[in-house]
Amino acid sequence: MHENNTWSGRFNEPVSELVKTYTASVSFDQRMAECDIQGSLAHAQMLNRAKVLSDEDLAAIQQGMAELLNDIRSGQFEWRVDLEDVHMNIEKRLTDKIGDAGKRLHTGRSRNDQVATDIRLYLRGAIDTTCQLLRDLQRALLELAAPHAATVMPGFTHLQVAQPVTFGHHLLAYVEMLARDEERMLDCRKRVNRLPLGAAALAGTTFPIDRQYTAQLLGFDDVCQNSLDAVSDRDFAIEFTAAASLVMVHLSRLSEELILWMSPRVGFIDIADRFCTGSSIMPQKKNPDVPELVRGKSGRVTGHLLALLMLMKSQPLAYNKDNQEDKEPLFDTIDTLIDTLRIYADMMRGITVKADAMRSAVLQGFATATDLADYLVKKGLPFRDSHEVVARAVRHAEQAGCDLADLPLEVLQQFSSQIEQDVYHVLTPEGSLAQRDHLGGTAPAQVQAQIARHQARLGEA
């Protein structure tokens, strides 16, 4: 009898040591050990209810699994590469402990539906953690936005000064993105939370199993309805990685802005020292390493998405060994995303805002030019004509080296006789903000209302 006695009766020679090492997954799938035990206990309880497994065997399995769980949590469990994966390691140790009852546990299932169940259990927990962290990051952004609902900063298009906004309004854009990210994660969870167990290898089993009962024990909302599909597709993992990629892309965009804002040439913010590093040669440097790494790690996660898509694209039904390659990109995506969200919330709570620098930047780019155009339209001038008038006024102010609001009234009236003294109410950054007092606008009152809405939605931590 060859060493791997779960299937070696079919073969005339043992698997080579090179193949054992190449095909083994226990080095990375052992992180699903608790999920594997959870699934096995539910399966055993279902088999017992179906009169396939005796009360004595069930009790022995439950006791043995409890001991194995303690060994795993305490680090005393010895993982063996020759046993290939997390499932066979646990089953072998269980059988060593309790004898034949351990051998009966695998009745009515296959490693194919077992691993599909373990991944879903593990991913379900990861999604729940991710959603909690997304909410905490949204709270951190709101905490920073609240005192800056009226803090003027330049809004940009094409990285050129466009119109005045408030810093609070700017941050709320990312709160909206992260709220959608949370929605995507919760929607993904619905499809993750379906039970494959009972599909067996690919065609189901001849034993009188009760899949709905197993699903109830494991907290699944439903069961996978087709046995071939249940064991072979990993679209739920791909969907999660796509949602994770979007989170990382959103955080990469915010990271890019934090990096620009912290540059001395911009000087809008400062990031707390604990999130930065210095230079080995330039003593004056303070580098924003955390947002830079987040920007880089976004490529890592989107790369995992592509890897999983390519993994599935040419597989015939049903299970294939290719699917062993689903775990490392999925696990690294989970780890990267969770670590990033944790550190990002902490970092946002360590940001200092330089409001004076933000306001000064607004005055450098004729940010109220559109307000002047709107002013003229309200006076009766067609928009295209007002656009031309303002463009000429901007050119004059640029040559004079001043802002539109600094031009004397008589100079402004050279461009349009419809300009009156009240124009200066709209040419200041604060006046510009106040004009945009509508749902979704950047007026401080609207920003405060949006902050209150999000705080009510998120509730207490």
Which residues are catalytically annotated?
A: 158, 279
Amino acid at 67: E
DSSP-derived letter for residue 52 is S
**155 forms bridges with which residues in the sheet?**
163
Please tell me the distance from the alpha carbon of residue 182 to that of residue 162, in angstroms, as a whole number: 30
State the Cα–Cα distance between residues 329 and 323, nearest whole angstrom. 11
Dist CA 236 CA 242 (whole Å)? 10
The residue with tokens 């656009």 is 387
3-state secondary structure of 159: coil
159: left (phi over 0), alpha (psi -120 to 50) or beta: left
CA atoms 245, 250, 255, 260: torsion sign: positive
Residue 450 has which token pair?
Answer: 């949006």
**Which H or E element spans position 47?**
helix 33-49
Find all residues with CB under 8 Å of 241, minimum gap 6, and list them. Answer: 301, 304, 305, 308, 329, 330, 333
To 10 degrees, what angle do helices 444-458 and 167-192 make? 30
Establish how many alpha carbons lie within 13 A of residue 418's alpha carbon, considering only the half-sphere containing its beta carbon.
15
Q: Which two tokens stand for residue 100?
A: 């034949």
Query: Tokens 């539906």 correspond to what residue?
Result: 113
User: Structure tokens of 80?
Assistant: 């063996």
CB distance 427 to 408 below 8 Å: no
The DSSP secondary-structure symbol of 271 reads: E
Residue 330 phi, psi dihedral angles, 5° rounding? -65, -45
C-alpha span between 113 and 123 (Å, rounded): 15
Q: Is 459 exposed, middle or buried (0-12, 13-18, 19+ CB in 10 A)?
A: exposed
